[in-house]
Chains A and B, each alone.
Chain A
Amino acid sequence: MDIEATTPAPAAIVARPARRVYRHRLPVRVMHWVNVVCMTVLLMSGLNIFNAHPALYWGHESSFATPWISFGARNTPNGPVGYTRIGGTEFDTTGVLGLSPTGADRRPTARAFPSWATIPGPQWLAMARHWHLFFAWLFVVNGIAYVLYTLFSRHLTKDLVPTRDELKNIGRSIVDHLKFKHPTGDAATRYNVLQSLTYLIVIFVLLPLIVICGLALSPTLNTVFTGWVDFLGGRQSARTLHFLAAFGLLLFVVVHVAEVFIAGVWNEMRSMITGWFTIPEQRAQKEVQP
């Protein structure tokens, strides 16, 4: 909604008291939290699976001598160190990546990702695969249900796809974000343009990509249309893209949660649990001259 159109005095925006709106409908709330559980389990069990061979490659097969990224531990005169190697450059990541304290006695153990980041905590490939492949189903079913819901409830066209005006004012939105300035009043009832675009990229690019790359890792599913994995650059490229997409999603979650804290953690959490969101009071202000 255009603020000027509803404002009686064009020279200034009048103050409006805080009010509550029903922002998230039940299906969206349920699917959101199912997704939180699935993505947490998938990321953490995925890291445990990754630890079984902590190196990534491009192409069909593994060029064992030249992964583009690898993690490991080695002994030095000063004791064992954990490293992360990207291309030809090595970084000392002792304590977190490559070598980290594990188990009740917190003994330094060679493992790519630390036990606090993996499900299960100990290195246990078979069990991590059980977690991963079960929650992958839940995640995909939930995701398909969500996409169908957004289409049939018109959540997609009404709320997620930005309007032309919103796209035109994207510069303003970027500046507002950088200043940590959050919309108040009616503007707070809508996703802002950066938010919409981010959600669209996550829902229609990153999530399908991570699922397709996951399916590409299955030798049986490789045979559905023999050679289809070539479109991803081969199975090892698919493994790399699966990993990168996971970290793209992690980055999204970090920013998403940070924004929740910046925008008001109780109000945002309440709106995703009960559906009700309090619109921040709109302060009276002089209109900014264009």
Chain B
Amino acid sequence: MKKTFTLMRARDRDRRHLLRGAVAAAGSALLAGCDRLSRNDAFVETLQSAEHLNRSIAKVVAPRSAMAQEFSERDVAQTFRGNGTLSPSDDDYVALRNGGFADYRLQVGGLVAKPVELTLAQLRALPSRTQITRHDCVEGWSCIGKWKGVQLGRILEMVEPKPEAKFVVFRCFDSMEGPSLDGRDSRYYESIDLDDAHHAQTILAYELNDKPLPVTNGAPLRCRVERQLGYKQAKYVRSIELVTSFADIRGGKGGYWEDEGYEWYGGI
């Protein structure tokens, strides 16, 4: 009797081990499979097809002029979190910064009738918009800040985009992989479509929380595209270019993080 029990118990134990082994094997096969799929171009392309669907649906359910939520003064964070580049080490930026950005010129060009160069003083002299909005990082955190700047739409009126212009490209000062000694350009860049460019809350901000924009947050000028995630909000903006397509710019995906695999449509 006792022997049978021991035998049964041993068989149970074997069965449990077998089951546990099978579950573990199936689990690691599943994980390895998923990781292999993540490196399969056709599969990743299929996954990415959701981005087009997301963008199309967003365009339908959120009208072109739909406004991002604005908050009150008491919601403003004491310190606005800086992320990505916190202090560009590129020579041209450091020189401008040491001069208090007095020599800064925002260049606006590309497919426009009247390219312009604007100093910070000229930008500040233009009518401004102040907005208290929530910044949503792709990592998951949010931070509320009070931004003051000039509407991008106003700048576009000034330069008169040509009919073939479809996107606005922001070129920034900060090299993401260290200053490019070997000639490789890793400076941050971003792009948005004309719907977002003309949106009332899309501004080129020079102030944060009633003070000149700090270096950690993109001094002297950063873009706010309030209906998209943080990586779309280019900091340290050097120039703005209107283009028909961004396919021939760098990785061709329309932005530094987009070239690294993030969605161009950063609304989700």
Contact = CB atoms under 8 A, between A and B. Distances in A.
A183 interface: no
Contact of B229 (A64, A137, A219, A224): A219
Interface residues of A, number: 43
B262 A119 contact: no
Given A52-B139, A61-B77, A120-B35, A220 B58 contact: yes
A32 interface: no
B38 A220 contact: no
Interface stretch (B65-73, B96-104, B186-194, B242-250): B65-73
B155 interface: no
Contact of B134 (A115, A131, A133, A235): A235
A91 interface: no
Given A49-B140, A61-B144, A218-B267, A124 B58 contact: no
A223 B201 CA distance: 12
B192 to A, nearest CB: 12
A235 B68 CA distance: 13
Contacts of B38: 119-120, 124, 127, 131
A16 interface: no
Contacts of A129: 138, 262-263
Task: Identify the interface centre among B38, B54, B67, B77: most chain A CB within 10 Å of its CB.
Answer: B38
A177 interface: no
Contacts of B260: 126
Contact of B261 (A52, A116, A127): A127
Nearest to A230: B69
Interface in B29-61: 31, 34-35, 38, 44, 46-51, 53-54, 58, 61
B143 interface: yes
A125 interface: yes
A210 to B, nearest CB: 15
A119 B34 contact: yes
B141 A126 contact: no
Task: Identify the interface centre among A116, A121, A129: most chain B CB within 10 Å of its CB.
Answer: A129
Contacts of A221: 58, 61-62, 267-268
Contacts of B222: none
Contacts of B142: 60-62, 235-236
A270 interface: no
A129 to B, nearest CB: 7
A12 B53 CA distance: 62
Interface in A124-170: 124-127, 129-131, 133-134, 136-137
A130 B137 CA distance: 16
Interface in B127-147: 134, 136-144
A275 to B, nearest CB: 24
21 contacts: A53-B137, A53-B139, A61-B134, A61-B142, A64-B141, A115-B31, A116-B27, A130-B48, A130-B261, A131-B38, A134-B47, A217-B136, A219-B134, A219-B228, A219-B268, A220-B62, A220-B268, A221-B58, A221-B61, A223-B68, A236-B141
Interface of A: 41, 44, 49-50, 52-53, 55, 57, 60-62, 64, 115-116, 119-122, 124-127, 129-131, 133-134, 136-137, 217-224, 226-227, 229, 235-236, 239
Given A44-B34, A221-B268, 6 more contacts: A61-B134, A121-B34, A127-B261, A129-B263, A219-B229, A220-B268
User: Considering the complex of A and B, which 4 residue pairs feature the smallest CB-CB distances, nearest first?
Assistant: A220-B267, A126-B261, A223-B66, A53-B139
